[in-house]
Amino acid sequence: MTKKIILFLAVFASTHIFAQSKIKIDGVAVVVGENIVLDSDVTKYAEELKQKSEGKVNMSDCEMLEEIMLIKLLAHHAVVDSVVVSDAEIESNVERNIGYFTQQLGSIEKVVDLYGFDDEDDLRKELSKIEKESALVRGEKENTLKDVEVTPEEVRVYFKSLEASENLPEFGTEIEMAQIVMHAKPSEDEVQETLDKLKEIRQDIVNGSSIRMKAILYSEDPAVTNNGGFYSITRESGFVKEFKEVAFSLDEGEVSEPFKTDFGFHIIKLEKIKGQQRDVRHILMQPKVSQDKLDKVKEKISQIRDSILAEELSFELAVKKYSEDKDTRQNKGIIINPQTNDSRFELTRMDPSFYGRVSNLALKDVSEPFYEETREGEKMYKIILMKDKVEGHKADFVKDYVKIQQLTLQKKQEDVINKWYAKHVLDTYVKINENNQKCAFKYNWSKS
């Protein structure tokens, strides 16, 4: 598999959309409407499937080909149905993806070279084609499914059908947690010490020292060992606003004064301006927090825990009085699952480090204080309350109604889209390569 294919898989693994790459074409497998499926697309799909399922899902070449054909069918009818695709959104997504890969590799030239494109223009055209097709497919699916709803009776009937066929799903153990967070913040002296050090480093660079060497010696950016503090960025790149504002305010060769972001304090040197792109090197330093400060925060949160266990203080009141986490303090400390936007977590799907802290807590238990440090360098101690815990069980109609409702909706949507496929396969031009006509497809592509 070529490096270019790997790029497509890395960016678009969730969409199943494949653009025609510059590799040697080994034949047209199928034409669906005005869309072409290449034999090489099946190879790409197979590699994606292997990566996503970790080798646990096996599909034949014919099954994979049909999956790709269905995507092309959706894209074709999106054009027929005049699905609106925003050029601005496509351009923004392309810039975001280019920014991501540039950040990973260090420069746009390295991205172009590593993934086998002729030049940056070639890369942008390929990414734009993929983004546009992806948007068309999403739009057509959304239009097809927008009016699909389920009634309580449909939910009940679907549950009964699963029950009768002994196919009721098993739901894993689910928990609801609340937390109290106390930060260990650097003192004014510790912040000033960091700023003074950055100013000293800046002056050395202005006087001719290598910012690359200074970054390797002093920067706390985790990527510094690989890139020497170097990044190519655009205004759409995934850097924080303050960083981009400073980078785009500098002249070539200029070194910024120290400035603050959520990650700490930085200095930037603008090495080169390339149109809308800036090549920069930066140094990141985070103020140190003394061990004495960390020990005091741990002692304080331990005392709070003791008061809660002695029933001298409720957990909710302790959250209100002491917790310093802005996201949970106004919500009684309840932690929201970012994947589902509700307060439930499936225990076995949690981050492994967090799982180790809460998996053995019983209902209403409060964890021992534990230390955490964010990617931005914030240092803190936490305690966790096991607010609710529902052990793994077979689906129950009353307790799990919301989940069963969602399963019912998914099944109905699947039925609707399958009927859409069956109907539009018959009224769409399809030409199948002779080598693939032996495939026993699910849908009647050959119109026989």
Q: What is the mean pLDDT of residues 417-437?
A: 94
Q: What is the mean pLDDT of residues 139-148?
A: 96
pLDDT for position 242: 94
* Amino acid identity at 125: K
> CB of 408 within 8 A of CB of 149?
no
pTM across the whole model: 0.68
pLDDT for position 22: 42
pLDDT, one tens digit per residue, over 174-191 is 999 999 999 999 999 999
Question: Is the model's pLDDT at 444 over the cut of 70?
Answer: yes
pLDDT for position 293: 94
Report which of 213, 282, 228, 232 is spatially closest to residue 254, judged by C-alpha positions: 282
pLDDT for position 121: 85
pLDDT, one tens digit per residue, over 52-86 is 777 778 889 999 999 999 999 999 999 999 999 88
The set of long-range contacts for 7-13, using a CB threshold of 8 Å and a minimum separation of 24, is 7/101, 7/115, 8/44, 8/130, 9/44, 9/47, 9/48, 9/51, 11/97, 11/100, 11/101, 11/127, 11/130, 12/130, 12/134, 13/48, 13/51, 13/52
pLDDT, one tens digit per residue, over 95-114 is 888 877 877 777 778 888 88
Q: What is the mean pLDDT of residues 205-231?
A: 90
Count the residues in the chain: 448
Burial of 310 (0-12, 13-18, 19+ CB in 10 A): exposed
Q: What is the mean pLDDT of residues 115-138?
A: 88
CA distance 134 to 153: 35
The three-state secondary structure class of 363 is coil
415 falls in which pLDDT band (50, 70, 90)? very high
Among 21-35, 176-190, 238-252, 283-297, which is the least confidently predicted range? Answer: 21-35
Question: Is the model's pLDDT at 322 over the cut of 90?
Answer: yes
Residue reference for tokens 């074409």? 25
pLDDT, one tens digit per residue, over 372-406 is 998 888 999 999 999 999 999 999 999 899 999 99
pLDDT for position 2: 42
pLDDT for position 26: 55
Residue 128 phi, psi dihedral angles, 5° rounding: -65, -40
- All structural domains of the chain, each given as residue ranges with its CATH number in brackets, are 3-148+413-436 (1.10.4030), 174-185+290-394 (3.10.50.40), 188-285 (3.10.50.40)
pLDDT, one tens digit per residue, over 271-300 is 999 888 899 999 999 999 999 999 999 999
Among 100-114, 177-191, 201-215, 246-260, which is the least confidently predicted range? Answer: 100-114
Bridge partners of 390, per DSSP, are 174
